[in-house]
Structure formats: structure tokens, C-alpha cells
Amino acid sequence: MDRTTRVTARPIGRLTPVGPSFPPVLTGTVGACAPGDGVPGPADIAYDPATAAGSLHTRAARVLADNWTGTSTVPSRGLYPHQWSWDSAFVAIGLRHLSPLRAQTELETLLEAQWADGRLPHIVFNPSVPLDAYFPSPDFWRSSAAGRAAGAPRTVQTSGIVQPPVHALAAWLVHRADPGLSRARGFLARVYPRLAAWHRYLLHRRDLGGGGLVSIVHPWEQGMDNSPCWDLPLSRVVPAPARSFRRADLAHGAPEDRPTDLDYGRYVRLAAEYRDRGYRDGHAMGPNAFAVEDPAFNALLIVSEHALARIARELGATGTARHARAQRLAAVLVDRLWDPARSLFLCRDVVSGRPIPERGVSGLVPLLLPTLPREIAAALVRTACGPHFGLGRTTRLVPSYDLLGEAFDPHRYWRGPAWFNTNWLLERGLRLHGERDRADALREAVLDIAGASDFAEYVDPFTGAACGATRFGWTAALTLDLLHERPGAGAPGCGAGAVKPVKPVKGGDRG
């Protein structure tokens, strides 16, 4: 336990649920909501000049109100009726502009479902939702039984896999939205030990390649579920029989927009085998295992390590060890995953030990890193704007996969469509590295297309046509965040800021 963990190691405690829509008491620059309204009125929305009925701001706020359950936000009422891990982090980033209290509650609710080994499960199930509303359902994961040895909670049902670690970044941004409220509630002091344990789990249990980077053990863990980047390692996995499961997602979306049955069979096989091992990590991997070092997952961990350092400093510690760790991880990321010939970060198949030669948007996300070498940042910008992703030329939003790739499909989930969360990340990366004009253009495109598509889950990268669910949680939330950002501004606070190189610290680094 490092010094900052010792200083702040207090239990998170139980939360007092807020109302059915927005909490009635807001502080700082945001006013109170009208009782029973669910959406702030014009006087309650700070910063955005266009607060009349029908404005983009008010429409986005309405989506988040409609998706609110009382303690968390569902991504979509029909397709995704539970709480998802990285969705909640992105939702909290947008909610902070409407209600810092509700944004804090969003993260605290998720953290209450943390396992004793530190993992944050990718789904926290709502017990009031019927089992057949979503698959895999709680009776598939059997977390409290199969995950007992790993410390799965007994009072709530969860999945057993994880999603990208955006949570510390979200917690820091939520704190900054209303520091007075955050300090009064002890928000950072309560969430810091949980976030530290989450990072510790990833760094100590998931370094399956032995080189210092985190590995994912299921495509769902990376968040980009059916990306062509997984095709090669997934080809080793024998799919579960189609008759052994029933897909609920096809009842809410067009089959041509969703992963194929073959892909789903492989997802089910991997998840079932992980469950049947008791969700143990670090086992001897066989030739058919799935283990991948992904650039986006690790880049988000690095950014969140910088954010944890900021949180530690707010709580009275130095944060130096965390900044140093983040810089070391960034160096390892460049060393292991950077491909200078493609000017892109590539995924690495841990089983074969070889890079996966597919160009996915994941390879651009390390643009978020504040200590990324200047020449690599410039190369990533050229790649994003070049023929493989077409930003500013053939596309207004960055697609999820190579426009020239054989597997490209403009409508099928993560095999080509543009997603709003990855474009929000890239907008921040462009702004961080001084590409203000490109960042402003991407911001404008996100806002235009989010509004025109009714806050779609994802869109055709050429036409902006909506795909998947509409009125999607993180699309609405990140729209709000961009509305609160002034065009032409420098890099927004990302939990790292302008990080100066620090000397490695001996000891005190197991956080």
C-alpha cells in the first residue's frame, strides 16, 4: 500500500439514493432543477447560451434524465438496461455540467460493485430488469458463486470481466466541476482507495505478457467488441453452439449493425471458460487463449494514473510516484506497440508474441498522452487525417477501423462506424498536442452529428446516419461536455495537464 493509499484508506460507505431524475440540490454555477421536471430549465444550465427548448444542450440533458435509474445511468433503456463501467465514466464527465452530485453518485454506484481483488466489473446488473432483457444475464456470469474466490460482491450481481479504466480521469474531472461539494462530501477521499485498487489489479494481475502492459482476456474488455483487430486471436477460439444462448441485442437493433452469430459464439465461449476458472487471472495460457495488449486500454490507464496523481495531491500526498509510473508505462507502450512503418500503435497478441497488423482507432487513442514524443504525436495526426481514417477529408468523424481494410463495414458495430466516445478522446488529444484547428473541426462535427442522429450509439462515418441505439447515454453526455468547451481553447484538463518529467522513486510505488 503506497503512502497516498494509507492516507486516504476509508471505506466508501453506502450512498443515499437521489431522486428519479436530477438531485434537487445543486451547487456552484449550476442551479436547482424544477421539481418533477427531470431536465434543468434555462436558468439552470450554465455556460451554454442556447438553452431554449429544443436546443442541443436541453435535448442531451433530456436523454440523461430519461436514462437515469435513481443511482446510475443506463446506456440505452432498451438495448443496454444495466450499468456499464466505462459508459458510466463517460456519462459522469458530461453530468458534471448539469449536476456534480449526480455525477459523483454515478461513479460511487459503480465503485460499490468492485470486487475484493480490485477489478471493476464491466456490467452491474439491475435486479428489477428481467433476465431475458439482456444476454449474457446474471445467471450466465454467476458472479457471487463463480467469483467468490476473487471477492465478488454478494449483494449485487455483476459480470466478471472489465472495461477500459477511464474512471480516475472521470473522478478528477467531476471533482473539478464543484470542488466545494466534492470536499464537503469527501468524494475523492472515498473513491481514491477504490480507484487505486482498480489500477493495482490491472497492473499486477493483468500483465500477462510480462512486459509491463495490461492484457485484455476478452474482446468486450477493450470496449470495441467486434473490432477486426480481434479477428486473428479470436480465430483460435471454438465458438459456443448457437443453440446454447439467445441473443437479446437483435430485438433492439438491425442484425447488419450488430456482431455476427459466429463472433457472439466465440465471445460466449471465452466468457464461460473464464467464469468456469473462477475468474482467475495469470493462469497458464494454452494455444487457444485470448490475451491481447491493446494501445487504447493502456493509454487510458496511463491518463488515469496521471489523474490519480492529481487526486493524491488534492488529498495531501505528492502524487510523484504515480506520475513516474504513468511515464514509465507510456515508454513501455511506445516500445512494445508503436509501429513506425504504419505510424500507428498496434495491438499485440500475447499468445503468439506478434503484433496484429490491423489499423483500428485504438491505435490513435495514445494521442491523449501528455508525454508522448512529439514526432509520434505528429505521425498519429497524419495517420488520422490520411487515407486510412480520412479525418477532415472523406470523414468528419474518425471511423473505428481502417477505411481501406478488407474487413471495413460502415454499419457493423466496431468494424467501421464512427463512435462518439473515441472521437471525444481524439478531440482532447488533438487539442493537447496543439492541433487546435483540427480539434475545433472535430468538436463541431461531433456536436452536429450527435444532434442530427438523435444521439446515436454510433454512425456511418461517411454519411452520419444513425446506427445501433439512439438516445445513447455517453453520446448525450459527451455532447454536453463539448458544449461547455470553448472553441479555440487549449487542451482541457485531462487529469494530467502538462506533466513534467519526474525522477523514478524507489519504493512507495505499489498503488
CA proximity to 371, closest of 503, 497, 230, 199: 497
Residue 35 cell numbers, joined: 421539481
Whether 375 is a known active-site residue: answer: no
Half-sphere exposure of 219 (CA within 13 A, CB side): 25
CA distances from 163 to 53, 225, 377 (A): 36, 11, 25
Q: Whole-angstrom Cα distance, residue 105 to residue 182?
A: 11
Give the DSSP letter string of 150-202. TT--SSS-B-S------HHHHHHHHHHH-HHHHHHHTHHHHHHHHHHHHHHHH
Whether 225 is a known active-site residue: answer: yes
Strands 344-345 and 292-293 come out as unpaired
Do residues 455 and 449 lie in contact, with contact meaning Cβ atoms separated by under 8 Å? no
Write the burial class of residue 267 (CB in 10 Å: 0-12 exposed, 13-18 middle, 19+ buried).
buried
Sign of the C-alpha dihedral computed for residues 58, 473, 492 and 307 taken in this order: positive
CA proximity to 42, closest of 20, 57, 25, 60: 57
Strands 354-355 and 348-349 come out as antiparallel
The CA-based angle 124-129-134, given to 5 degrees, is 70
Q: Whole-angstrom Cα distance, residue 219 to residue 144?
A: 23
Q: Whole-angstrom Cα distance, residue 198 to residue 169?
A: 13
Percent helix, strand, coil in the chain, to 5, is 45, 5, 50
List 108, 225, 281, 358, catalytic entry: 225
Do residues 370 and 496 lie in contact, with contact meaning Cβ atoms separated by under 8 Å? yes
List 117, 293, 294, 457, catalytic entry: 457
Residue numbers annotated as active site: 225, 457
